[in-house]
Amino acid sequence: MTALTRLSLTDFRNYAGLTLRLDARPVCLYGSNGAGKTNLLEAVSQFGPGRGLRSAQLSEMTRRDAPGGWALAATLDDEQKISITLDTAGTAKRTVRIDGAPASPGDLAERIRIVWLTPAMDGVFRGGASDRRRFFDRLVMAHLPAHGKAAARYDKALAERNALIERGHVDPAWADAIEARLAEAGTEMAINRAIVLEALQIAIDARPEGHFPKADLTLEGAAEAAALKGEDFRTIFDLLVDAYHSGRRRDIGAGRTLSGPHRTDLAVIHRPTAAPAGEASTGQQKALLIGLVLASATALSAGGSGPSPLLLLDEAAAHLDPDRRAALFDELTVLGGQAWLTGTEAFLFEAFGDRAQRIRVDEGSATLAE
C-alpha cells in the first residue's frame, strides 16, 4: 500500500497552515465551490514530477499576501517523511527533502507516483492531438519518470531547429548536429511511449467488463510505430534523422518542424461501439477516461518496479450514476495506492460506507468528519 498518513501545507493556495492526519483508506474531500478541495489535490500532486495537476507556476501557488514561498510535508505509510519547499525570496526553486536529507526530484519519484484525473481532461478525446499527447505523456511520466527529462531535451532541440528554420537559411552542419540531438531525445520518448502503451493496453484488456468501457489505443507517429514493432534504438534514431533531414525544405516553407514525436497523436477507440472516443457521448467519454486512469494505476501497481500510485480524482464522482459510482468505489478500495476524491457534498461518497475517510473542507481549513 502507498498512502499519505500525514499531510501538511504552509502558505499553499488558500491554506495558511493545515495538518491532516490520515489512514490508508481513500480520502473523500467535500465542501462548497471554492472551498479549497482541488487545492489539496494540487498540493498532493506536487510530490510527483512536473508542476502538478494545474500545471501552475511555482510562485502562483504561494498564498496571496504570504511573504515567502510555500511548503508541503507528508508522511508516507507512517514511515518516510517527504517535504517540498519553495522559497520565493531565495532561488525560487523547489527544495526536496526525504527524512530530513536533501534529495532530488528523481529520489522522490522512486518513492511516490501519482496519477490524476481532472475536469480539464474531459475534452481530451474531442480536442486536438496536443491535448491527447500531453495527457498520455503525463501517464508515461508516472510510469517512467525519466520521460520528462527526455521530453525537455527534445523541446530544447526543437526550439533550436525551429529558430534555424525561421531564418530560412540553414547551415547544413549546424542542422545535422541539432537534428541528431532531436532524434536522440525523440527516440527515447518514442520507446518510453511504446512501453507504456503496451502496459496500459494489457491492463485495459484485463479489466472487468461493465461500468467503465474499454479502449483500444494506438500511437500515430512513425517513431512510436517502429518502437511498437520492436525496432531497436539505432533504427528508430536513423528513421528520425532521415525524416528531419528530408523534411528541411518543407519545414523552411512552413516555418516550423512538421514531423517528429512532437506531432504524435494517441488514437483512442471506444471498444463497445468500435468508434473513435471523440464521437462517444459525454458520459461515455468520462467513463472511458476513468477506465483508462484506473488501468494506468493497475499497470503501475502490477509493474512491480516502484510504489503503487496515489490516484487523484477531481470531481469524478458527481458525474457518475449511482451504480457506476459504487463500482468506482469498489475498485478504489482494493487499489494498491490511496485514492483522493473531491465532491461538493458528502452524500456522493455514501457508497464507500466505512471503507473511506471523509474530510470537510471549508475556506482554507479542513477537518476530519467521521
Ligand X SMILES: Nc1ncnc2c1ncn2[C@@H]1O[C@H](COP(=O)(O)OP(=O)(O)OP(=O)(O)O)[C@@H](O)[C@H]1O
Q: Interface residues with ligand X (CB under 6 A)?
A: 13-14, 31, 33-39, 62-64, 342, 344
Nearer to ligand X, 178 or 289 (CB): 289
302 sits in which H/E element: helix 282-303
Amino acid in the structure at residue 115? V
SS3 92: coil
* Comparison of 33 and 305: residue with beta carbon closer to ligand X: 33
Q: Are 78 and 4 in contact (CB under 8 A)?
A: no
Q: Tell me whether residue 34 or residue 210 sits nearer to ligand X (CB atom).
A: 34
Buried b (16+ CB within 10 A) or exposed e, 38-64: bbbbbbbbbbbbbbbbbeeebeebbbe
CA distance 310 to 115: 6
- Write the burial class of residue 149 (CB in 10 Å: 0-12 exposed, 13-18 middle, 19+ buried): middle
Task: Closer to ligand X by CB, 10 or 192: give it.
Answer: 10
Q: How far is the CB of 326 from ligand X (least distance, A)?
A: 22
In the complex with ligand X, the residue whose CB is nearer, 155 or 362, is 362
CA 202 to chain centre: 19
Shortest spacing between CB 300 and ligand X, in angstroms: 25
User: Which among 258, 251, 262, 196 is positioned nearest to 223, based on CA atoms?
Assistant: 262
Whose Cβ is closer to ligand X: residue 36's or residue 309's?
Answer: 36
Alpha-carbon span 190 to 226, nearest angstrom: 9
Residue 35 or 108 with smaller CB distance to ligand X: 35
Q: What are phi and psi of 209, to 5 degrees?
A: -70, 155
Nearest-approach distance from CB 315 to ligand X, in angstroms: 6
Supply 355's cell numbers: 471503507
Query: What interhelical angle do 282-303 and 322-334 show, nearest 10?
Result: 10
Q: Tell me how far CA of residue 249 lies from CA of 186, 188, 196, 256, 278, in angstroms.
A: 21, 26, 34, 11, 34
- From CA 62, how far away is CA 43, in angstroms rounded? 11
3-state secondary structure of 51: coil
We find the least distance from the C-beta atom of residue 284 to ligand X, in angstroms, to be 23
Integer CA distances (angstroms), 215 to 49, 293, 342, in order: 26, 11, 25
Annotated binding-site positions for ATP: 31-38
